[in-house]
């Protein structure tokens, strides 16, 4: 039986993906962000951030005040990935950052206009 938190987070996840699509997020961001049912069981929060670091949506344990940090981490990861790809090679892949601690993991993914952070239990 699903707990109220699981149900709420599943609903929040779907609304964040829908919101990202509404704001014109890259389809690769929303499609790669989709999690299987086993993975959503450990999701405790979702944060959607615009390119300027403004929090568009925060659900569960994801703190809206972390939006600027999340955007900054994603931007730096993207720049690092671009720096390390060869000049002749066009890399269309989006870097994913995973911040791990003993209590939780934060998965961060950015496209041109949006950043999605998924908070999961460790």
In our burial notation (b when 16+ CB lie closer than 10 A, e otherwise), range 7-31 reads eebbebbeebbebbeeeebbeebbe
How confident is the model over 23-40, as a mean pLDDT? Answer: 50
The secondary structure of residue 62, as a DSSP letter, is: -
Backbone CA torsion sign across 114, 115, 118, 119: negative
Global pTM exceeds 0.85: no
Is pLDDT above 70 for 2?
no
User: Can you give the pLDDT at residue 31?
Assistant: 47
Lowest mean pLDDT among 15-19, 82-86, 93-97: 15-19
Give the phi and the psi of residue 52 in degrees, each rounded to 5. -95, 0
Q: Does residue 112 or residue 21 have the better pLDDT?
A: 112
Domains and CATH numbers, the chain: 4-121 (3.30.450.30)
Which residues pair with residue 55 across a beta bridge? 49
Residue in the block written with tokens 């990861």: 77
42, 51, 57: which is closest to 10 by C-alpha?
42
Q: Does residue 113 or residue 102 have the better pLDDT?
A: 102
């Amino acid at each position: 039986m699903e707990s109220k938190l699981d149900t709420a987070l599943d609903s929040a996840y779907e609304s964040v993906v829908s919101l990202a699509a509404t704001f014109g997020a890259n389809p690769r961001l929303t499609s790669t962000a989709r999690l299987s049912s086993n993975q959503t069981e450990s999701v405790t929060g979702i944060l959607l951030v615009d390119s300027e670091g403004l929090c568009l949506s925060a659900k569960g344990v994801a703190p809206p005040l972390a939006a600027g940090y999340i955007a900054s981490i994603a931007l730096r990861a993207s720049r690092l990935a671009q720096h390390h790809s060869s000049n002749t090679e066009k890399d269309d892949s989006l870097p994913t950052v995973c911040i791990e601690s003993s209590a939780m993991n934060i998965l961060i993914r950015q496209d041109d206009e949006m950043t999605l952070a998924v908070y999961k239990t460790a």
